Every structure is written in structure tokens, then in C-alpha cells.
Amino acid sequence: MADTHRVVISGMGLITPLGTGARTFWDNLLSGKVAVGPLTRFECEEFPSRVAAQIDDFEPSDYLAKRRLQWTDRFSQLAVASAKLAVEDAKFSVDGNSADIGVYTGSALGGLAFAEEQIDIFRREGLRAVRPLLTLSVFGGAAASNVAIEFGITGPTMANADSCAAGAIAIGEAYRAIKRGDVRAALAGGIEAPLAPLTFGAFTVARAMSTRNDDPATASRPFDAARDGFVMAEGAGMFVLERYDDAIRRGAPIYGEITGYGTSNDAFHMSAPLADGSQTAGALRRALDEARVLPSEVEAINAHGSSTRLGDRAEAIAFERVFGERLPKIPVSATKGQHGHALGATGAWEVAIAAMGMRDRVVPGAVNLEKRDEECPISCVRETIAASARVVLSNSSGFGGINAALVLRSAQ
């Protein structure tokens, strides 16, 4: 089928360490609030890294009925809750034609944290003490399936586990499905609930996370010369994506339009990025090509900016490959210093940041950028600046060498 449909974001549902709901998240981001602090979810005194971006005010019963609570873990609860917020924000109704709506989710770890909890119970109390819910929670598609059940959506339900690019890929795949006419609308985004001892500890053992335990608020510092790793976070970001014509017809709010999507794989290493940035650049170019946008037309960039030594440098080099001498003139946002890195969910948050930044004509700053790494040749803004960007490129990358990029255009 010919590509005939324009695709817009008409609703956002965000549950983040910076707050719940698009408005709260955005206001706190622009205020410079930092949600990174000491990890208190479990005992971690022996861990090299003891900082995280937790969500301590999420109450699942505010969003799910009692029976649904009994058959969902935190991973699926975050998905359903954020999807409800997105539907409410979009004033979207799942009417009698639910087969024409899809659900697309991404998560690096899925229900792994709940499985970890149940393993401990199994070892202490035996098989009879293990919750039957475990079988229904550990697979990556559990969140998408629970969202479909909650809304009675019978269209395509797809979940990916593409590491830290998972949320961006879910949004990109939903965009493509609507664009080519497979569905008329979709709930799409990323979810992550990784704060459990072994899950968290494994990343510490891999030396991927910051050990700035004495000053958690400055631990995540993308592109800064003193960065020493990422800060793990939890949360979800779901969107209502739909045909432009449908959104206009029903008077829906439009945050922005998605016009391009590209992916690639470094095919190099499971944890280290390809240092020359060539395949990240490949994903960026694919997204620009699909959007029919020249590099000279991109007016702002939302960087993955994980705050890892190798990752930030490879990403900056990839940007240099695509934008060349013009790169220092393009404002770059890197906000993980405030909300941490929620693995597969963060790419969804950053799509929201790109869209709301275009709407409000600003580019958010990087709160902990004190001295830019000279090997990262980008103009990462330190404080929020005014910028009337009409075309923004959002980039995500993750373990396994997985890269994903999205191009957004202003709704204005």
C-alpha cells in the first residue's frame, strides 16, 4: 500500500522521576529540577553505584481496577497507566473499530525485576509460594498485551526488547504502520521497571553506571569531561499516534508530526559502541531520507547522551559525520542529568521533549554540563534556550549496537 498518511502525536502519557503527566514533567524539566538521588528501593551498601532516579509516588490503584492489579507487575502497571494518561490527554476514544488500532511497546528488560523477586521467594519458600502471575509477566510482550486488554484493542500488538533504543523503535514502528495504512492509530512508547538488586547490580558489575555516590544530583552528566557512567531510572512514556486527518477532524491537540524513522546495528560489540559512529550515522541518515529532510534543515537535536565515556563520544562523532561543519551551530539537548536513563523508556521521554520543545520554542539544557569533553564536537546547551526549531532529530542507542532515530516536525 502506498505511503499516504501523515502521522501526528496527539496524546502523551508520561510517568517519570520528574513527575507524572506531560505538563508536570515538562515544567519540572524546564525548571532545572534533578530527580537523581540515593537509591533507597533496596539495600545497596556494597554496590559501587548507589544512585538512581526512582519514582516513589506512583500508585497503580489510581489507574487499574483491583482484579487487574492482582494480575500485573510494576512493568505492566506502568504501561497501562501511561497509556491511560495518553488517551486522556488526546481525548481519544477507542470506539467499536478497535481492530484498526495497534499497540507498540519497547522495553530493554521487561518483567525481569519481578522475576528476580519471585526467584528469591522460590528459594526461601519453595514453588508453592511463587505467584502464578510470574508466568504472565516476564515476557517483553506483557506490557503491550495488558494495554490491549485494558482498552479492548484487537489490532496489531507488537513489543520489542531492543535495549535502550526500544522506546524509539516502538514509536517508529507504530509510525510506519499508520503511515502505510495498516492501522489508523496506535498507542506506542517505552516502559522500564529495572530497579531490583540483581538487575541493577549487573549494570554496576559491567561498570556502566556512575559511582558519584557522594553527589547524586551531578552523577549523570552527558558530554561532560568528568562523566563516569549513566544513572539508572524507571518509568514509562506512551503516546497516541494517529493520522493527521483524523486528528484534525476531531479537533485533537497535536504536539508534532513524525516524518522519518531509521535504524541500524553497529555489528561490533554487545556493550561498546562502534567508536567511529558510522552506523549511528546510518540510522540518522535513514530517518532523514524517509522524512525527505536535508541535514541542513535540522534545527535541533535531541541526543541519546547516556553519560558514558564511549557512548557520548561515538554519538557526537556520528552527528559530525551527518552534519559536518554545521554541527556546532545546531543546539543539542541532553537531559538525562535530570531524569536519569530509564533504558527502553527514555527514548519515549525524549520524543516528548523534542515535541514539546518545538511547541514552546525552546531547547532544554544539560544541567550538569560544566566542561564539555573536547572529543565531543557538539553544541550541547547548558541552559534552556529560546529556539524556533521546526525540525528536530531524536537519537537513541543501546547495548547490542542497536541505533534508532526519529525526525519530528513542528505542529505549527
Find the catalytic residue in 164, 339, 376, 380: 164
Question: What gap in Å lies between CA 276 and CA 267, rounded to an integer?
Answer: 13
Q: What is the pLDDT of residue 96?
A: 66
- The answer to whether residue 44 is catalytic is no
- The answer to whether residue 164 is catalytic is yes
**Over its length of 412 residues, how does the chain's per-residue pLDDT go in tens digits?**
455 899 999 999 999 999 999 999 999 999 999 999 999 999 999 999 999 999 999 999 999 999 999 999 999 999 999 999 999 999 999 876 789 999 999 999 999 999 999 999 999 999 999 999 999 999 999 999 999 999 999 999 999 999 999 999 999 999 999 999 999 999 999 999 999 999 999 999 989 999 999 999 999 999 999 999 999 999 999 999 999 999 999 999 999 999 999 999 999 999 999 999 999 999 999 999 999 999 999 999 999 999 999 999 999 999 999 999 999 999 999 999 999 999 999 999 999 999 999 999 999 999 999 999 999 999 999 999 999 999 999 999 999 999 999 999 998 7
Ranges for all domains in the chain classified under CATH 3.40.47.10: 7-249, 260-410
Upper half-sphere CA count for residue 380 (Cβ side, 13 Å)? 33
Find the catalytic residue in 44, 304, 339, 380: 304
- The answer to whether residue 341 is catalytic is yes
Find the catalytic residue in 5, 44, 339, 341: 341
Q: What is the pLDDT of residue 82?
A: 98
Query: Which phi and psi (to 5°) does residue 90 adopt?
Result: -85, -10
Q: Domain 7-249 is of which CATH architecture?
A: 3-Layer(aba) Sandwich (3.40)
Sort strands 385-386 and 362-363 into parallel, antiparallel or unpaired.
antiparallel
Question: What gap in Å lies between CA 265 and CA 28, rounded to an integer?
Answer: 34
How close are the terminal C-alpha atoms of the chain, in Å?
A: 29
Q: Domain 260-410 is of which CATH architecture?
A: 3-Layer(aba) Sandwich (3.40)
For 185, the enclosing helix (H) or strand (E) is strand 185-192
Helix residue ranges, H only, 91-236:
112-125, 133-137, 142-151, 166-179, 197-205
Which DSSP letter does residue 192 get?
Answer: E
